[in-house]
Structure 1
Amino acid sequence: MSPKRHATATDVARLAGVSQSAVSRAFTPGASIAEETRLRVAEAARQLGYRPNAIARSLTTRRSRIIGVAASYLQNHFYPDVLEALSRGLQARGYQMLLFMPDAGRHADPQLQEVLAWRVDALILASTTLSSELADQCQAAGIPVLLFNRTSRAPSVSSVTGENLRGGRLIAEFLVTGGHRRLGFLAGIENSSTSRDRERGFCGWLEEHGHRPPLREVGLYRFDEASAAARRLLARPDRPDAIFCGNDHMATAVAEVARHEFGLRIPRDLSLVGFDDTGPARWPSFSLTSFSQPVQPMVDATVALVCEMIENPAAPTRHEVVRGELVVRGSARMPTEGCVSLAEQLVWRPAVVDAAG
């Protein structure tokens, strides 16, 4: 028995009494077509069981309607939330997302060539770095590249980030105002702009206000590495009385080690502050004070910018920075002033505006 022949656009056009170009427009998001015609085409397609062939259409339009997204460190709750929102946002604009996961901590460019082979219309790099070689290759291929939650020294690469520098400064001020003097900082990945900017803001504020630099360890944004770093910090005779962790994922690791291995009470013995304001920060078992990176506004900015880059290759480079808040919960000693209620949560709003942040 021979397999059933799939209905074609020609079959749909014949049944609907329209041209093949009308069928194509009916299945192209944003294309100009009369509503009556679109409905007639949709009904004919339903009767025939027709589904548009995205691969064939890409050969004609030279657009795959696929956006490549490179992301790793998915154990960090921030990125699964981002990927879900990105998928929804891109689908609403007629694109599909192709997820690519480079090996964490390794050079990702050779593997990213596999994504480029899929004729993606653009590439979003999240939680991974961009080498100059990859930037040049994408530019030569006419593929727009956007960095999410990262920046690049390459002047032609657009980006969307949270307020990493300002967030680090606010956290320093918050902890000092709360009476802490022995501060620690748990860095993420050393070559990550995100970790560098958070640390630069944190240490910069301390230096400007006459405080000594924090004790420093590196957690690589990983739970196991952060746990080991916490043991080194907390075993010191001059252990910190507050630790700023470069993201919430590492902060949860520090909390576990502090409580269960060192018998410390949070926040009485040790204050903890994270970054990202992910789901676990709101769990009662952690109740983590954290600087927020609002996922939906960051994703909205990313989708709008990447679509603009696809439609207008000559569009200027842009760097979108999405505002966040230092959300105050129970993991850190609270200053007597500066905490205000906002949208059913407590945030740190110091009375004096920090112009450098």
Structure 2
Amino acid sequence: MANEKVTSVDVAKRAGVSQSAVSRVFTPGASASKETTAKVRKAAAELGYRPNVLARSLITGRSRIIGLVVAYLDNYFYPEVVERLSVALQQKGYHVLVFMASPTVGDVESVLQEILDYQVDGLVLASVSMSSVLAGECQALGIPVVLFNRDQDDARLSSVTTDNRAGGRAVAEHLIDIGCERIAYIAGWEGASTQRDRELGLRDGLEAAGRTLYARGVGNFEHPQAQEAARRMFDRSDPPDAVFVCNDHMAFAVMDVLRFELGLRIPDDVAVAGFDDVPPSAWPAYGLTSFRQRINRMVSETVTTLMDRIEGGGTEPRRIEIDGALVVRGSTRKTGG
């Protein structure tokens, strides 16, 4: 009958091969000759056969699904991360399920059970935190976890980050080099390691030059809160002449307030620097000086770490910090400019 379900046995008969050969052709990473692959795929196309991935996972005990937990998708950095991680993992024969976590609380409590219901083979947490209890539960279930663009003090967890502290220091040194005297900072969410380390780096650079932070606000990685932080910071008779904003997403909000609400000129009245170097940073509308995160290297290290745990049997956690680079654009000025 036309509506009867086609099985791998039917494909094997049509192709003149064994059922195990059909299974190898449709199993990522399995070995099959070009001739066998061609015959099996031709027979499958003629019969309208599609492998049952869920049924295979019951047999192998592997779902070949990676859970990707993200927040802040309105930040240009993360859609790019999701795309590149998804492509890289698909090339390894894995499928990606994306879960959203709270952007303010920044944890995975609310989505953990849903994630575990899918029996994922691994987890990537992009800028969200995991409690020690949840980390222990994942470890007990044998689920590898890699933190992406976030670190935390749990020796069981692997992490891949930019050297955020070095990035913050590079921004400080640049602002001092171009002659800025009153250097301010707008922080992200206080519970994030990225926020902590970028601010520490900024303060390191200021201290090395005998300076202190002139003013500080908090934007919590949110566009409206960054706008309000800028309004408060510059509502004074002696406003900062430079502001480092913890990420580009907030920096764009700050620049819009400075230019269009307060009538300040960038960089003549105030220099602005961000962090991430997302694509709009290079747009003429912003021309934002920003510390670049090397997404391709971060994604590659994340996938390598996951695959080592899932397929290679590795057990040791890895803490990987990747060098970035300061990209200077028109939002900061040269001395005397």
Q: Normalising by the residue count of structure 1, what TM-score does the alignment of the two structures yield?
A: 0.91
Structure 1 residue 335, shift from structure 2 partner: 5.1
Given that 2:185 and 2:217 are in contact with CA atoms closer than 8 Å, whether structure 1 keeps it comes out as yes
Please name the residue that 1:170 is paired with. Answer: 170
- Where do 1:246-261 residues align within 5 Å? 246-261=246-261
Counterparts of 2:98 and 2:148, CA distance in 1: 14
Q: Residue 269 and residue 60 in structure 1: after superposition, are their counterparts in 2 closer, same or farther (change >3 A)?
A: same
* Residue range with higher mean Cα deviation, 224-233 or 155-164: 155-164
Counterparts of 1:314 and 1:172, CA distance in 2: 39
AA aligned to 1:21 is S
* Residue range with higher mean Cα deviation, 207-216 or 19-28: 207-216
Given that 2:101 and 2:110 are in contact with CA atoms closer than 8 Å, whether structure 1 keeps it comes out as no
Please name the residue that 1:301 is paired with. Answer: 301
Please name the residue that 1:6 is paired with. Answer: 5
Alignment partner of 1:10: what SS? helix
Counterparts of 2:311 and 2:137, CA distance in 1: 20
Q: Residue 326 and residue 230 in structure 1: after superposition, are their counterparts in 2 closer, same or farther (change >3 A)?
A: same
Please name the residue that 1:123 is paired with. Answer: 123
Alignment partner of 2:306: what SS? helix
Consecutive unaligned residues of structure 1, counting only runs of 5 or more, are: 337-357
Please name the residue that 2:333 is paired with. Answer: 333
Deviations 1:51-74 (A, max 9, x none): 111100100111111100000111
AA aligned to 1:166 is A
Q: Residue 130 and residue 214 in structure 1: after superposition, are their counterparts in 2 closer, same or farther (change >3 A)?
A: farther
Please name the residue that 2:138 is paired with. Answer: 138
Deviations 1:63-111 (A, max 9, x none): 1111000001111000001111111111111111100001221343132
Deviations 1:138-161 (A, max 9, x none): 001110000000111001211111
Please name the residue that 2:197 is paired with. Answer: 197
| Counterpart check, 1:263 vs 2:263 | yes
- Where do 1:23-172 residues align within 5 Å? 23-106=22-105, 107-172=107-172
Given that 1:13 and 1:41 are in contact with CA atoms closer than 8 Å, whether structure 2 keeps it comes out as yes
Counterparts of 1:108 and 1:320, CA distance in 2: 22
- Where do 1:176-325 residues align within 5 Å? 176-325=176-325
Q: Residue 214 and residue 311 in structure 1: after superposition, are their counterparts in 2 closer, same or farther (change >3 A)?
A: farther
Please name the residue that 1:352 is paired with. Answer: none
AA aligned to 2:89 is L
Given that 1:203 and 1:214 are in contact with CA atoms closer than 8 Å, whether structure 2 keeps it comes out as no
Q: Normalising by the residue count of structure 2, what TM-score does the alignment of the two structures yield?
A: 0.96
Counterparts of 2:75 and 2:49, CA distance in 1: 41
Please name the residue that 1:15 is paired with. Answer: 14
Q: Residue 3 and residue 153 in structure 1: after superposition, are their counterparts in 2 closer, same or farther (change >3 A)?
A: farther
Alignment identity in percent? 50
AA aligned to 1:200 is L
Alignment partner of 2:210: what SS? coil
Counterparts of 1:54 and 1:266, CA distance in 2: 55
Consecutive unaligned residues of structure 2, counting only runs of 5 or more, are: none
Deviations 1:300-348 (A, max 9, x none): 2211221111113433211222221100100011359xxxxxxxxxxxx
Counterparts of 1:335 and 1:88, CA distance in 2: 44
Counterparts of 2:19 and 2:59, CA distance in 1: 13
* Count, aligned residues: 335
AA aligned to 1:138 is C
AA aligned to 2:6 is A
Counterparts of 2:186 and 2:214, CA distance in 1: 9
Given that 1:273 and 1:289 are in contact with CA atoms closer than 8 Å, whether structure 2 keeps it comes out as yes
Given that 2:246 and 2:275 are in contact with CA atoms closer than 8 Å, whether structure 1 keeps it comes out as yes
AA aligned to 2:69 is A
* Residue range with higher mean Cα deviation, 324-333 or 99-108: 99-108
